[in-house]
Amino acid sequence: MRKTPEKKRRPTIKEVAKLAGVSFKTVARVVNGEAAVSPGAREVVEKAMQELGYSPNVSARQLRSHRSFLIALVGVKPSNEAAAAMYLARAQPGALRRCSEAGYHLVFEQVTPEDEIAVIERLEHLRVDGVIVSPPLSQRASFLAALKAKNLRHVLVASDLHDGETPVVKTNDRLAARQMTQLLIKLGHHKIGFIRGDRHYAGKERLLGFLDALDEAGIPRQDAYVAPGDFSFRAGEVGAKKLLQLKDPPTAIFAGNDEMALGTMVAAARLGINVPDQLSVAGYDDSLSATVVWPQLTTVRQPISEMAALAVDLLLDEKRYGEAPEVNLDSAVIKRGSTAKPFGASGRSKARA
């Protein structure tokens, strides 16, 4: 009779502690994702776990710690807002990386205004240990009030709704927009159009940054050079067409996000205007599309992945979470081929036909 192969015995937490040369409690803290472990100790414990092939019993771990070891990343459904979908795609890697490092799992939920309560009830049922709320959902007061009503701890990303009770991770949109406008001015542009985003936080801040730079340079504000928009490709196309058909059109257009900047480039092409020879175009976000168009797009790179990772850190750090900080991370202006000196400026060649 053939012998039934013996089931391989699972290594124990005590064996991990012995191999790592640390206490049982230190290994338990690493397994439970607790912050009170030095980086050196965490490294040796993780190495020992890997060598032994140790994996914690998730159910037992949840019972011991009264945690689910689940973090939720929540945003709007992509069919509603393309810009939001792009934001989520860039936020996920940072959140996933930090959750993995801390021994947590990341779950993902998408929301429409009609199913806000159902999603929150689902998160409550899962007993998630924290919720990362991405924009524009992080600006929706009804959703945030419902999270609070269910006592679900959460961190807001890219929001100005800092109430002193909930941590917020953001980037300084106003400063970055000012720096982008300053780049265009430094290139020699004095007739600069702006296509604004929606009237929520980011759209307002980027417009203010644009106006700040004009004021600092002594360039008069012109209402005709500011076109409405909603962060969509179509809004960029429509807004740029309006600006470029003015009697005295701008030599540069700064769009409130990359989608609208791409719409601007299409509008320019349809009007027979060459980018960047006859028109400089700048965007905001440094989305994937910024480097797959030609010329590649000058834009503002937001630290979206880093912001999501920091949101996880705040959810897992009891002390910092309780302080409810508002943390600002720096963005960076990325100059590419879509911007140049205005035609006729010193050193500029004649525009191509």
Token pair 């769009």 is at which residue? 255
Looking at the domain that runs over 173-301, which CATH code has it been given? 3.40.50.2300
Query: In which residue ranges of the chain is CATH 3.40.50.2300 found?
Result: 70-172+303-331, 173-301
pLDDT tens per residue, range 53-85:
776 655 445 444 456 789 999 988 765 456 667
What pLDDT, on a 0 to 100 scale, did the predictor assign at position 63? 43
What pLDDT, on a 0 to 100 scale, did the predictor assign at position 89? 85
Q: How confident is the model at residue 115 (pLDDT cuts 50, 70, 90)?
A: confident
Alpha-carbon span 274 to 249, nearest angstrom: 14
Alpha-carbon span 207 to 198, nearest angstrom: 10
Token pair 């992945």 is at which residue? 305
Identify which of 299, 205, 224, 226 has the alpha carbon closest to the alpha carbon of residue 259: 299
pLDDT tens per residue, range 175-188:
999 999 999 999 99
What pLDDT, on a 0 to 100 scale, did the predictor assign at position 349? 43
Q: How deeply is 292 buried, as exposed, middle or buried, from its count of CB atoms within 10 A (0-12, 13-18, 19+)?
A: exposed
Query: Which residues, other chains included, contact 127 with Cβ-Cβ below 8 Å and sequence gap of 6+?
Result: 67, 68, 70
Q: How confident is the model at residue 130 (pLDDT cuts 50, 70, 90)?
A: very high
Q: Residue 6 pLDDT more than 70?
A: no
Looking at the domain that runs over 70-172+303-331, which CATH code has it been given? 3.40.50.2300
- Tell me the β-bridge partners of 169: 157, 327
Under 8 Å between Cβ of 155 and 331: no
Average pLDDT over residues 124-141: 91
Average pLDDT over residues 33-39: 71
Q: How deeply is 279 buried, as exposed, middle or buried, from its count of CB atoms within 10 A (0-12, 13-18, 19+)?
A: buried
Alpha-carbon span 335 to 85, nearest angstrom: 24
pLDDT tens per residue, range 239-260:
999 999 999 999 999 999 999 9
Tell me whether the omega of the peptide bond preceding residue 276 falls within 30 degrees of 0, making it cis.
yes
Determine how β-strand 154-157 pairs with β-strand 130-133. Answer: parallel
pTM above 0.95, yes or no: no
